[in-house]
């Protein structure tokens, strides 16, 4: 019984079902080529539901952009929020 986290099990299943089971590899070189193409599609093109239906590469870019509404400490910058209402 595997103790891998669910996300790892899910990824391993996708690799197996969508890549390994769908291809016949005649050499190690060809296996590396096909797996690289699949991995690039998975990480750079295919949207992922757990991160807002965008590809991981796009999510990474958004994650690394500085958020002007927060300070370095992560607290809210009240100057950018606008007027407060009751």
**Per-residue pLDDT tens over the stretch 21-65:** 999 999 999 999 999 999 999 999 999 998 999 999 999 999 998
Inside any domain, residue 77: no
Residue-number span of the structural domain to which 39 is assigned = 9-64
In a domain, 82, yes or no: no
Tell me: the pLDDT tens digits for 9-22?
999 999 999 999 99
Report if residue 85 sits inside a domain. no
Overall domain count for the chain: 1
Phi, psi values for residue 32, rounded to 5°: -65, -40
Residue 48 lies in a domain: yes
pTM of the predicted structure, to 2 decimals: 0.65
Task: Write the DSSP assignment of 19-83 as a string of letters.
Answer: IITT---SSHHHHHHHHHHHHHHHHHTS-BGGGTSB-HHHHHHHHHS--TTB-TTS-B-GGGT--
User: 80 versus 58: which is more confidently predicted?
Assistant: 58
């Amino acid at each position: 019984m595997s103790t891998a986290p669910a996300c790892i099990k899910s990824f391993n299943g996708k690799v197996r079902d969508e890549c390994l089971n769908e291809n016949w590899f005649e050499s190690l070189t060809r296996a590396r080529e096909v797996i690289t193409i699949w991995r690039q599609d998975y990480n750079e093109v295919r949207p992922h539901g757990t991160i807002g239906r965008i590809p991981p590469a796009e999510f990474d870019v958004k994650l690394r952009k500085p958020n002007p509404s927060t300070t370095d400490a992560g607290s809210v910058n009240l100057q950018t929020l606008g007027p407060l209402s009751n």
